[in-house]
Amino acid sequence: MSDGPSVFGVEISDGAMEDLRTIQEYIAAELQSPASAWRTVTGILDAADRLSAMPFRNRAIAKTSRGHAVRSARYGKYRLLYLVEEEKSHRICSAVRRFGC
């Protein structure tokens, strides 16, 4: 029996960080809204951080070749794809993709 709720660590993958940079650059430059770019990226990172408390609340949408469930969370028009790796000190790895408009 555990002594309380588990808290998972959230690790943002290099690929997800590159996705975030691309999102930020697109919104800031193409849409000419640096403030909106900042809010969007900050919101996505906050959504990823909130996964630490309840990572299993989102449904599994696929499995990796190693048998890990790929889960999906949303922030606005963006999807966070992540794995919960319990055997690695409760780590969550994330990636970010944009939904179609």
Per-residue pLDDT at 73: 92
Whole-angstrom distance, CA of residue 37 vs CA of residue 25: 7
pLDDT in tens, 81-101: 998 887 664 556 666 666 543
Whether pLDDT at 1 is above 50? no
DSSP-assigned beta bridge partners for residue 95: 81
pLDDT in tens, 9-63: 888 888 889 999 999 999 999 999 999 999 999 999 999 999 988 899 999 999 9
Whole-angstrom distance, CA of residue 63 vs CA of residue 72: 12
Cα–Cα distances (Å) from 53 to 5, 40, 48, 64, 79, in that order, read 8, 21, 10, 23, 18
**Helix intervals (H) in the chain:** 14-25, 34-50
Whether pLDDT at 66 is above 80? yes
Q: What is the pTM of this model?
A: 0.81
Using DSSP's 3-state secondary structure scheme, residue 33 falls into coil
